Structure 1
């Protein structure tokens, strides 16, 4: 099944955290991501079930207990979301933190450069050249400046200017759809597609949600088998870890990269299948690995507790402990890190 969100409105997708001009002071600015966080996608789908009366806001054990209860009522107990994808002109793309790249191109690229894993510089250069050569989509950001208002009187607060970036979903003459692949043990639709109206993003802009039935398994779309014992796992949605593998702020040295790769593999239950190997971690862009508050609890009406976020565009390099084709499919099925069935840690594997 596929859940696709489309909107003609400029959208604001921010990293987990808080933006409010009065808190951050004069000159406050907020940039948008090119793709909604997994918590945004999962929350919108969970709200669909909640508004239909299929679940409640009663707290359930676990960081995402309330969201999981609603998604189970919608897709069954064995559901799994795979986020970080987009559709444009009928073609499926994945988010690489540098924009959107065609899914098929990314799988072929990962398979072609995997033999270079023993030479990190050549591996990185091969990845960059391959992504530049592909027919990628680049995010278009619209920026506007506003004035913060006094909460009580709604009058302008002197000197309190802020700037906000909004993502334009229009590419050429067609809209970009934000897509989540859904592995479901029950379906809210029998066949074809069903449309709903919802809101999405930090500004709660109206969006159309389309649920489409599909005969294609998500694992088949997200993995490719080249027969190589070395696999590259590209995060197309950020991964989460319950605890940091390090103490304090560190530089991503070889030993730190090894700890991070091992933690991501272990949290997903893949340690019996994959063994991280040098260079362990490759980042397409230099984004921070940092503690965040990933989403809002509907039950408690507060931000969720801090977790460690590993950004999309991060690649884990690993060797397989079993048949490479089976290992690639299992890695794509489970993802990397914690809370993967909510869409965190979705990977393309080859």
Structure 2
């Protein structure tokens, strides 16, 4: 049975018309689901019993099953969720001064094979539907009885490898009479699927774009991220430049600092040269070590020196606050451990 959460507002209207119902009924259901957070047809009290039964025959409105939950001392909560077909995914809630941010997974497994990343410990089995992404938010909100205010699509998987479903997900959670999460409170992260960056520039929505860069040159990026062999850094830079010109939006460059790999100050200089003239800022990320990968976190001194050098060269830079370091912090770790135990 199809999940009602797979439908955007416009698709829901079409689906209701197809089963002989009025457009306004679809709008009522959309508000029940997203504004009132009701996920039981029988509790949608302004719908007739006949319509409730018809909906129950055609659509599921179930949330995801919470299989396991880890809560960090800093309030970060990692959820292991079961999909309807038994697949396991993770979603992570982070507490910030500005609100509650949820890191959403877009694929069951990942094929990008980034050498440092726990998400790729288990290969991609399939894309998630837009509804399975929406249900991650709905499940967490139901568990917390609080609203998620910000969403980052940078959990397991490559969002731009699941482009259509990810865009439907964004349009659903951004809908004014739905979850109404502002476009500027939504961030989508890609490891560098260049054609999709050009597509994303044409969407006309003010969602934030983050690029997982993690290297200052092609030699290092080729060893860390196989995608770079298909779309090397000169092609990636051209796509970023086009995106900025088309949208007038600043782009975030994610850079995980790996001990003795990409953390020397000479690489900060190379990175600054690569970024010169682009409206970007660099988000430096301390590494969450993954046992199977062999990489280590850079020292505090190295991290600070790298940041200081970028600042000296007039590159906007921030250092990401670490979240969930006392639990299975890196994306994919909890799921991989559960799968291995099984």
TM range (shorter): under 0.3
Name the structure with the higher strand share.
1
Name the structure with the higher helix share.
2
TM-score relative to the length of structure 1: 0.24
More relative contact order, 1 or 2 (CA 8 Å, 6+ apart): 1
